[in-house]
Amino acid sequence: MLYHYYMKIIFRILLAAFFAAGLIPCAWAQVTVVKQDGKKIYLDTSSFNRYVAVGDSFKIITGQENLVNPKTGKELGQIYHYSPEGKIIEVQPLYAVGELSENVSYSIGQEAVIFSAAQPVAAAVPGGAAEVAPVGSAQAAVSAAPALVPQRKIKTYPVIEREIISAVKADLNAFPGEEIAALDSNGHLLVYTLNNDQLQQISDYKFAANKTPITLSASDLMRSGHAQLFAVVYDAQKQSIVTLVLDGSDKEIKEIDTLPYFVKEWGCDADKKLYAQKPFTSGTKGGDVRNLQYKRGRFSMTDVVFASRGNWLPGMNWYPIQTADKPNALFTQSTGVLRLRLDNGKYAESPSLFATAPNRVKYKQDIIPFYPSVQVYGPAGKAVVAAVQNIAKFGILSESFGSYKSSKIHFLTYENGVLDVRESVDLNGFLYDTSCTADGILAPQVVPGEQTILTEIYR
């Protein structure tokens, strides 16, 4: 980790030096003005390294100059000048349309910076000029670059002194507000209240010793006004996977049902859906994927949603990614790629990043991996995929046996027949699983000492 950290610093310093020499002017700007129509500015985002959203802000780089000490002749860095701030009003696969507050003409080919609506441009200061730092320093490498991509907003909750394998955020009881439910590796289901982003434990439910926890979901399928919890466990005694349905309406967890199939949530809003799959039917192949419903006082599966053609548990989702017309199946292949089933029956694939996962279950002499959840959100046909990459400690062996040191969450979009990584967030710990909240991706990072840093990465 230190090696990669220092290599990044050295790389940034070299970039700053090239920048000062004028060899690669505006190399960090990343987007280019390709057309102007009155106040509307069309920006080429085909090479931009993060997802652009409606509501993001942008500024056009209008000029730059060297700052020199007149006494010593020492070059101190570069000053960048920007247009007034505009807003992104439309996003297409390869370009974005921004609107300026004033009708001022700019040249085709000028470069611009795009930054999240929640954060300002990292190098901007009042007056439209960038902050200056000495050339050759690590600080110069940061402030000299006019188009630093700001990090996503991240909320970190207090450390939990347990190894959390899955967590959800939902309204679990009759009291106002949301709670966080967390499943640990020792078979405990914990419920915490949220008070000014502080966690207060209110419940601890222990599963039977023969039940190994796998993943956790929450949804109000019973329409009771609060969510039920769905904890998937491996029953070693019966050599089968079951889902325990639990209710925590009175601050006390009670098991109200056991379902003979795997259940996992999909969706990011309060009205999440749950899918169900009978695992390991016909040897080691999973059954068809169906929605879970609560009808006439019992939980049951609906008609087939799609044929999974394998045990995609839980690295799978169902969402209109390719177009707004109908949903696509998205799942993690054992080879490590995310595979998107297209409307014409063909597939689009991602880079090979996602095959490693800590959760494995022995089933009839086979080792069955359970991949971290794949989250999908955003407008239909312009969706964003959030997928986990766990980084191994010791190379190839740890890829097979689940020994990890850190992780990344990659944000991908479907463009030109491929799932393209547009942005990545580095995390200090590894992840068993994620869940999607109304605001972001809930990621329990497991760090040394069987501790977990519960993190919410805003969308």
Least confident of 85-89, 125-129, 290-294, 385-389: 125-129
**Long-range Cβ contacts of 232-235 (<8 Å, 24+ apart):** 232/262, 232/263, 232/264, 232/314, 233/187, 233/207, 234/361, 235/210, 235/211
Residues 227-240: tens digit of each pLDDT: 999 999 988 888 88
Q: In angstroms, rounded to a whole number, what is the distance separating the alpha carbons of residues 96 and 77?
A: 31
Residue 2: what residue type?
L
Residues 241-288: tens digit of each pLDDT: 899 999 977 668 899 999 999 999 988 876 688 999 987 766 666 788
pLDDT top residue among 30 and 143: 30
Same domain, 270 and 374: yes
Task: Give me the DSSP letters along 405-417.
Answer: EEEEEEEEEEETT
Residue 408: what residue type?
K
- What pLDDT, on the 0 to 100 scale, is given for residue 5? 37
Q: In angstroms, rounded to a whole number, what is the distance separating the alpha carbons of residues 214 and 263?
A: 11
What's the first-to-final CA gap in the chain, in angstroms? 26
Least confident of 43-52, 326-335, 449-458: 43-52
Same domain, 351 and 424: yes
Residues contacting 2, CB < 8 A, separation 6+: none
Residues 447-458: tens digit of each pLDDT: 888 899 999 999
Residue 324: what residue type?
A
| Domain CATH code at residue 65 | 2.40.30.20
- What pLDDT, on the 0 to 100 scale, is given for residue 120? 37
- What pLDDT, on the 0 to 100 scale, is given for residue 315? 86
- What pLDDT, on the 0 to 100 scale, is given for residue 47? 64
Reading the block at residue 68, the tokens are 């020199």
Find out whether 443 and 428 touch, Cβ atoms under 8 Å: no
Give the mean model confidence (pLDDT) for residues 205-219. 93
Question: Residue 334's domain spans which residues?
Answer: 154-458
Establish if 179 belongs to a structural domain. Answer: yes
Establish if 427 belongs to a structural domain. Answer: yes
> pLDDT above 70 covers what percent of the chain?
77
- What pLDDT, on the 0 to 100 scale, is given for residue 111? 87
- State the SS3 of 142-207: HHCCCCCCCCCCEEECCCECCCEEEEEEECCCCCCCCEEEEEECCCEEEEEEEECCEEEEEEEEEC
Least confident of 25-39, 187-201, 202-216: 25-39
Q: Which residues pair with 300 in a beta bridge?
A: 293
Edge-to-edge strand ranges of the sheet holding 179-184: 164-170, 179-184, 188-195, 198-206
Q: What is the separation of C-alpha 312 from the centre of its chain, rounded to a whole number of angstroms?
A: 19
- What pLDDT, on the 0 to 100 scale, is given for residue 12? 41
* Residue 40 CB neighbours (<10 A): 15
Instruction: Look at residue 161 and tell me whether its pLDDT is greater than 70.
Output: yes
Same domain, 39 and 102: yes
Same domain, 129 and 161: no
Establish if 411 belongs to a structural domain. Answer: yes
pLDDT top residue among 191 and 397: 191
Residue 256: what residue type?
I
- What pLDDT, on the 0 to 100 scale, is given for residue 279? 76
| Domain CATH code at residue 445 | 2.120.10.10
Same domain, 11 and 85: yes
Establish if 386 belongs to a structural domain. Answer: yes
Establish if 149 belongs to a structural domain. Answer: no
- What pLDDT, on the 0 to 100 scale, is given for residue 151? 61
Give the mean model confidence (pLDDT) for residues 279-305. 84
Instruction: Look at residue 183 and tell me whether its pLDDT is greater than 80.
Output: yes
Instruction: Look at residue 310 and tell me whether its pLDDT is greater than 50.
Output: yes
Count of the separate structural domains present in the chain:
2
* Residue 123 CB neighbours (<10 A): 21
- What pLDDT, on the 0 to 100 scale, is given for residue 27? 33
With H, G, I as helix, E, B as strand and everything else as coil, classify residue 379: coil
Find out whether 179 and 171 touch, Cβ atoms under 8 Å: yes
Establish if 209 belongs to a structural domain. Answer: yes
Establish if 409 belongs to a structural domain. Answer: yes
Instruction: Look at residue 20 and tell me whether its pLDDT is greater than 50.
Output: no
Q: For residue 19, what pLDDT band results from cuts at 50, 70 and 90?
A: very low
Instruction: Look at residue 188 and tell me whether its pLDDT is greater than 60.
Output: yes
Q: For residue 364, what pLDDT band results from cuts at 50, 70 and 90?
A: low
Give the mean model confidence (pLDDT) for residues 396-418. 75
Reading the block at residue 418, the tokens are 């491929």
Q: How far is CA 326 from CA 18, 321, 329, 381, 418, in A?
A: 48, 8, 10, 9, 18
- What pLDDT, on the 0 to 100 scale, is given for residue 270? 65
Instruction: Look at residue 129 and tell me whether its pLDDT is greater than 70.
Output: no
Give the mean model confidence (pLDDT) for residues 73-85. 79
Give the mean model confidence (pLDDT) for residues 388-417. 75
- What pLDDT, on the 0 to 100 scale, is given for residue 48? 63
Instruction: Look at residue 380 and tell me whether its pLDDT is greater than 50.
Output: yes
Same domain, 262 and 397: yes
Q: Answer with the one of 143, 173, 193 that is the final residue of a domain.
A: 143
Q: For residue 363, what pLDDT band results from cuts at 50, 70 and 90?
A: low
Same domain, 102 and 184: no
pLDDT top residue among 331 and 129: 331
Same domain, 135 and 230: no
Same domain, 116 and 59: yes
Reading the block at residue 385, the tokens are 């995929």
Exposure class string for 165-191: b at 16+ Cβ within 10 A, else e: bbbbbbbbbeeeebbbbbbbbebbbbb
Residue 59: what residue type?
K
Q: Answer with the one of 85, 118, 143 that is the final residue of a domain.
A: 143
Q: In angstroms, rounded to a whole number, what is the distance separating the alpha carbons of residues 320 and 385?
A: 11
Same domain, 133 and 158: no
Establish if 148 belongs to a structural domain. Answer: no
With H, G, I as helix, E, B as strand and everything else as coil, classify residue 4: helix
pLDDT top residue among 15 and 340: 340
What does the mean pLDDT of the chain come to? 79
Dihedral sign (CA 110, 97, 341, 360): positive
Instruction: Look at residue 2 and tell me whether its pLDDT is greater than 80.
Output: no
Reading the block at residue 252, the tokens are 């006390």
Same domain, 309 and 247: yes
- What pLDDT, on the 0 to 100 scale, is given for residue 444? 95
- What pLDDT, on the 0 to 100 scale, is given for residue 166? 95
Same domain, 216 and 118: no
Q: In angstroms, rounded to a whole number, what is the distance separating the alpha carbons of residues 86 and 324?
A: 28
Q: Answer with the one of 143, 172, 192 that is the final residue of a domain.
A: 143
